[in-house]
Amino acid sequence: MGYYDQNYPPNPHRRKNKGWLVPVLLGIIIGILLVVVALPALQENNVLPGNSAEQGQQEGASINEGTQGTNNTVNVDVSTQITEIVEQVTPAVVGVINIQQQGDFWQQQESNQAGEGSGVIYKNEGGTAYVVTNHHVIEGADSVEVVLADETHIEAEIVGSDVFSDLAVLRMSGEQVEQTIELGSSESVKVGEPAIAIGNPLGLMFSSSVTQGVISGTERTIPQDFDQDGRADWQAEVIQTDAAINPGNSGGALININGQLIGINSMKINQAAVEGIGFAIPIDSALPIVEELETTGEVTRPYLGVEIYSLDEVPQAEWRDTLNLPNEVEGGVYVWSVEPLSPADQAGLKRLDVITELDGTAVNNMIELRKILYQEKEIGEEVTVTYYREGERNETTLTLGTQE
């Protein structure tokens, strides 16, 4: 059997169906309308992918044409308040060279550059300029050279220095000095405000280096051991900043956003795990010392005439067994020796007496006693000393003297 219509001729009597013609014509007309009307609108709105690719090629061509053309150098003049202030202040910040005499193999004296630091020109009057720097920068110097911002070397004289405040004053010719620094106030300094340090980190090779940060803390106290015996001799009051302060920056300027001197850069914590902690001597506490050094060449402070040590350095057992202190005594200083004819000697103080109060103010350690003497008392002032001897509480009055 064959399939339907297979190998059979068409039926001549079958009627032909012509109903397909109308739908075909309508489809053609609609297609033409879509091409004519809708396609431009689709291209205009970036709906068709072909259009985006073409546009990208055109943009790429424009970019390639730009890169293949001549590159134009753009010069940008960045001028801010900081750059202007630094430009103004930098000539007042100098390098300080510590020169010491040493004997060579033939016992002949030769100059040796023992160290470098920084300084600040704060006054230039009558042809004489004055520089403030750190005591430790010029310590042991036989002579000192000041290096201006333009690398001019000027021989300077050490007017005076003070180990407790770590300040020193130098005097030199002011003929080539172009700028002195404007003095500000450290009392109004706020934590978080901008701070700029200017100095010579690592020596004159990096002279007039500028670092910027903020004030990290005010009225910080840092223990100082001057004789390197492991005991703190003094508590330095400092400003803390995260502006980088490195060896050679010592004695340089810490300024505020107005270019005013608010501190003398002094030190940083030199530990591998510590970063961004530097210290400066507040200008408000430095100025009276600077003026005294400039006038007299030294800082004269009241003294008792005793060698003392903090009670907390003695084992608690010795408080009872040797010093016979009662339980209510929680701190103080013990007298190790008394200078003959000193105020303490004339007032009757003796070895192993324990001082606990000065004029009614508690003294818990050696640093507190020195702070009371150096910051609150005057030479020639009478002071009431409360002390314990063999367990008994005593009082005596002495007149503060000055160390010769």
Is 166 annotated in the active site?
Answer: yes
Are 144 and 99 spatial neighbours (Cβ–Cβ below 8 Å)? yes
Range with the poorest average pLDDT among 116-125, 234-243, 270-279, 283-292: 270-279
Predicted confidence at residue 268, as pLDDT, reads 55
Distance, in Å, from the CA atom of 401 to the CA atom of 404, rounded to the nearest integer, reads 9
Is residue 254 within 8 A of residue 261, CB to CB? The reply is yes
Find, among 370, 357, 358, the residue nearest to 308 by Cα: 370
Question: Which one is predicted more confidently, 205 or 132?
Answer: 132
Q: What angle do CA 176, 181, 183 make, to 5 degrees?
A: 150
Rounded Cα–Cα distance for residues 147 and 153 (Å): 5
- Region 99-108: mean pLDDT is 68
Which listed residue (118, 135, 136, 310) is catalytic? 136
Please state, in angstroms and rounded to a whole number, the distance separating the CA atoms of residues 276 and 385: 42
Residue for token digits 């053609």?
A: 28
What does the pLDDT look like over 141-184, one tens digit per residue? 999 999 998 889 999 999 999 998 999 999 999 999 989 999 99
Domains of the chain: 82-173 (2.40.10.10), 182-296 (2.40.10.10), 302-402 (2.30.42.10)
Catalytic option among 166, 209, 216, 242: 166
Higher-pLDDT residue of 248 and 310 is: 310
Cα distance between residue 218 and residue 241, in whole Å? 9
The pLDDT-based confidence of 105 (bands split at 50, 70, 90) is low
> What's the average model confidence in pLDDT over 303-323?
87
Of 32-36, 162-166, 192-196, 283-287, the range with the lowest mean pLDDT is 32-36
pLDDT digits (tens, 9 = 90+) for 46-61: 555 554 444 444 444 4
In the predicted structure, residue 358 carries a pLDDT above the cut 70: yes
Residue among 286, 211, 288 at smallest CA distance from 242: 211
Query: Burial of 175 by CB count in 10 Å (0-12 exposed, 13-18 middle, 19+ buried)?
Result: exposed
Enter the pTM of the model. 0.68
Q: Choosing from 165, 250, 266, 285, which is the catalytic residue?
A: 250
Predicted confidence (pLDDT) per residue in 1-28, tens digit? 333 333 334 444 444 455 566 666 677 7
Residue 136 annotated among the catalytic residues of the structure: yes
